[in-house]
Every structure is written in C-alpha cells, then in structure tokens.
C-alpha cells in the first residue's frame, strides 16, 4: 500500500470540502485505487479560526512555505487563489519536485505556460482541473481525450453568477439589478460582483481553455472581455421572441493553424444563442463547455461550475491522479522525450485583431417614424458590407424601434456601421448590440 502525503494550502469553501472528502473518502480510495492519501498539513491565514472543526488541529499552520518545504510532502494542493503568494508557493513546490494540483484560474491564466513547462522539466505533474468549469472535467477532456483532435472552436458558459443572472432575467422577466440582487441574496454573487459581471473571471477561464485547446500560450491580457451589465430586460425579451437566449460566453477560436504558431481569437461577451443550441438550455448557476472539432464533431460538458463540494471533487480527482502517478513512478511523458522543447513549452499564441472577426449581430435601435428612415438605415448597412438577415419594426408613437439581425459580418464593418448610424439624424438611440452565436454550427 502506497502512502502519499498531501499539503493543502488554503481552507475556504473548496479547501474545507476537500479536507472532509479526503477524510470520508479515504477508505473508498484505498479500496479502489490502492492509494492512501494522508493530509500532511493545512496552511491557513489564521489558525485560531479553524479551532472548531472536526479536523485534527495540529494539521493547521499559518506558514505555507514551511509546509511546502517539508520533505515528507509529495503533493501540494493550492487553493489560496490570486497571484501572490500562490505563485511563489507553486514555484517552490515544483522546484522541490512535488506534484501540484491548483484551482487558481488567475495564476494559470497569467503564468500557466511557464508553470507547465517548469513542471514538465522537473518531471512532476501540474494539474488544474478545477480552474475552469468547477466539477466538470473539461481540462482532462481537452488535454487528454482530445489530444489528437483538431479543434476549431471551444466555447463555454464558464461563470455561474452571470448565467444565473441572465437566466433569471429571461425566465422571470426581471431586470439586471433585480436579478443581481437575487443572486447576492442566494450567495451566488459577491457583494462586489465586478469580477463576475464584468467578464474578468470568464476571461481568465477563456485564456486557459484556449491554451489547452490549441496547444499555445494564451494569457489573460490577450482576452478582450465584455460583461453583462449593459444587457437590458428588453433585449432579453426581444431575444426570446426571435428564438434566442442571452448567455455570457467565453469563445475561443482557432483562426489559422499556422506552421508553428496558431492564430487564435479568445473573447468573452454576452451573446444571443439559438434556443435549439445545447448551450441555450444551461440554466441557473450551471456551467458548460461546448467543443467543436474536425473529427469529434460537437461535444458538450455540463455541470456545476462552482461551489465548495463540486469544485473539491475535481481537485480530489486530480489529487488521486497525482498520487497514483507518484507511486507508480510515472513521470509526465513530455519530460522524457529527447528534443522535447516543443512539447515542453507551448508557443506564444498570435491573437487575431478583433476587427477581423466575423459573426452575426443583433442590433436594436430607435428611429424617427417617418418615410425614408428605413432606407437610410439599410443603406448604411449595405455600404459597409453588412447584410441583413431579418428586421422587425415595432411602432412606438412618433418613434419606431428597429430590431435587426445581420448575417455574418466583419466586426470592423459592424463598428463602422454603428458609427455611421449614430451620425444619422433619424437614429435616436442604438440600444442593444449583441453578437449572435452558434448559427454557424458545422453539423
């Protein structure tokens, strides 16, 4: 029977769920896998706060560096989050030849490529399943099951808070502020919700997804992101009428494979998704990742994207992996290949300029209701190579509301169209502008 000693850094929601899962699941894991995982220590900010748990109190320490430095520790599980000291602790762990399991999306989105290459050089595992998609094992699926696949688009609902808010707006007909307050009441949104609603959290996850999907180094700063704060109740209603739902999506695409360096686009934006698309049925705080590949076709993973127990379950799965690999003496294959540089370090991605990207758009504007206005508006679209797929006009007294859905168009052309429309005297206000996702499914 192999014993593996595991240091846990951080004991918040996920950490405490992990500690109890390791305790409750201990005998099960031994029976199923032959691996005996023992907690070597739990690093927390304030040891006194953890006095009243069931956990052996001597395990707690406020010195994470000493814990990582302990030679008896085999695996370090980092659940602190943020850049510092998590970043230094992981560097130290890898330097000391320990395997690392981390749920730290920000760190992975900023330094993932460095860390992965350091881990491979050191012959240790660095797993980060829970950094994207919570309980959903999307990292393993992309990096192992689909290792030989040619993926061209990987998109997802990767932020449960915003999906809950948008689902509530759609299902209950309430506006953004009401829906956000409800999410806060239910503990699904922070009192300062900006990291979620501004798309920052989703952007970090998008960078990680793109890096795995296209085997390249994509960083948080590469990701253009928009949040959901401008999504209006009326856009949600128009979307429904047109057969769409609005979702905050992380969309990563392979624009061009290139000889050595893939060109990608990696973005986060609220989009209209056709109700028949599998992502449209992902409601509430759930997450999902939708994968499109040349051979595998469409694959979707769906599950709980947050929460202590589900996230801890993903961390636990990877901790057992890391433990098995250490006991079996399995070093990562990348570290064993001669001339391994290209496998060890993914090339830095080239990011496509946003203006070149193509998709369909929803544009909603109020115009003066008089003859010739529609013709003038339509001319602006046409002059800019934007072709209109559908238009609905809703009379509103002296004004009219025009709701357009375009065919696929270059984003640069859409920007120019909007600028010129804003300059038209007859256009009062351009209210809602959203990308349309998923009309161009391959199969």
Nearer to a copy of itself, 64 or 293 (CB): 293
Whichever of 21 and 265 has its CB closer to a copy of itself, that residue is 21
- Rounded CA separation 388/401 (Å): 16
For residues 220 and 288, which CB has a smaller minimum distance to a copy of itself in the complex?
288
Name the H helices within 70-159: 86-95, 105-122, 138-140
Interatomic CA distance for residues 252 and 142, integer angstroms: 13
Q: Which CB, 149 or 408, lies closer to a copy of itself?
A: 149
Q: Measure the N-to-C terminal CA separation of the chain; round to a whole number of Å.
A: 49
Greatest CA separation for the chain: 84
C-alpha to C-alpha distances, 50 to 45, 56, 312, nearest whole angstrom: 10, 10, 18
User: Whole-number minimum distance, CB 153 to a copy of itself, in Å?
Assistant: 14
Contact set with a copy of itself (CB under 8 A)? 1-2, 17, 21, 25, 28-29, 31-34, 129, 135-137, 140-141, 144-150, 215, 278, 281, 293, 295-304, 307, 309-310, 312-314, 316-317, 319-321, 324-325, 327-328, 330-331, 333-334, 336-340, 342-343, 443
> How big is the CA angle at 225 (ends 220 and 227), to the nearest 5 degrees?
130
Catalytic status, residue 205 = yes
CA gap 389, 386 in Å, rounded: 10
Cβ proximity to a copy of itself: between 31 and 51 the closer is 31
Q: Which is nearer to a copy of itself, 17 or 39 (CB)?
A: 17
Shortest Cβ 346–a copy of itself spacing (Å): 9
* Nearest distance, CB of residue 128 and a copy of itself, angstroms: 13
Smallest distance, a copy of itself to C-beta of residue 232, A: 26
The C-alpha atoms of residue 332 and residue 122 are separated, in whole angstroms, by: 9
Give dist(CA 377, CA 16) in Å, integer: 58
Sign of the alpha-carbon torsion through 124, 141, 131, 3 = negative
Q: In angstroms, what is the minimal distance from the CB of 16 to a copy of itself? A: 13
403 CB-near residues (< 8 Å, 6+ apart): 238, 242, 362, 363, 364, 391, 392, 393, 394
Which residue among the candidates 31, 96, 98, 205 is catalytic per the annotation?
Answer: 205
User: What is the smallest separation between the CB atom of 337 and a copy of itself, expressed in angstroms?
Assistant: 4
Which residues are identified as catalytic? 205
């Amino acid at each position: 029977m192999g014993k593996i000693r595991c240091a846990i850094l951080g004991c918040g929601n996920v950490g405490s769920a992990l500690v109890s899962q390791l305790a409750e699941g201990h005998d099960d894991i031994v029976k199923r896998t032959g691996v005996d995982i023992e907690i070597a220590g739990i690093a927390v900010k304030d040891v006194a706060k953890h006095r009243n748990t069931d956990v052996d109190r001597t395990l707690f320490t406020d010195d994470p560096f000493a814990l990582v430095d302990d030679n008896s520790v085999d695996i370090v599980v980092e659940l602190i989050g943020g850049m510092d000291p998590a970043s230094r602790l992981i560097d130290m762990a890898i330097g000391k030849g320990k395997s690392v399991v981390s749920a730290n999306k920000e760190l992975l989105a900023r330094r993932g490529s460095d860390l992965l290459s350091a881990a491979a050089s050191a012959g240790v595992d660095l797993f980060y399943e829970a950094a994207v998609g919570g309980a959903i094992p999307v990292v393993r699926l992309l990096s192992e099951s689909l290792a030989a696949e040619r993926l061209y688009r990987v998109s997802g609902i990767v932020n449960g808070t915003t999906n809950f808010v948008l689902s509530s707006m759609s299902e209950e007909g309430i506006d953004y502020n009401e829906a956000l307050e409800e999410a806060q009441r239910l503990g699904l949104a922070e009192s300062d919700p900006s990291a979620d609603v501004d798309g920052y959290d989703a952007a970090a996850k998008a960078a990680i997804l793109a890096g795995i999907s296209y085997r390249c180094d994509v960083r948080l700063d590469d990701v253009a992101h928009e949040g959901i704060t401008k999504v209006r109740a009326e856009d949600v209603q128009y979307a429904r009428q047109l057969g769409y739902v609005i979702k905050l999506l992380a969309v990563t695409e392979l624009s061009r494979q290139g000889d050595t360096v893939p060109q990608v686009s990696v973005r986060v934006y609220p989009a209209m998704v056709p109700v028949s698309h599998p992502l449209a049925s992902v409601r509430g705080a759930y997450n999902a990742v939708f994968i499109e590949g040349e051979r595998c076709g469409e694959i979707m993973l769906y599950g709980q994207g947050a929460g202590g127990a589900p996230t801890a379950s993903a961390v636990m799965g990877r901790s057992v992996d890391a433990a098995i690999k250490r006991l079996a003496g399995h070093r990562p294959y990348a570290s064993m290949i001669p001339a391994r540089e290209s496998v060890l370090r993914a090339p830095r991605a080239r990011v496509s300029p946003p203006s070149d990207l193509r998709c369909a758009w929803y544009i909603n504007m109020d115009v003066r209701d008089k003859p010739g206005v529609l013709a003038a508006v339509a001319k602006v679209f046409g002059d800019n190579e934007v072709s209109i797929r559908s238009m609905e006009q809703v009379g509103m007294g002296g004004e009219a509301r025009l709701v357009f859905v375009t065919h696929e168009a270059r984003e640069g052309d859409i920007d120019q169209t909007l600028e010129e429309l804003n300059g038209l005297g007859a256009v009062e206000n351009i209210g809602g502008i959203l990308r349309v996702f998923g009309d161009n499914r391959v199969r």
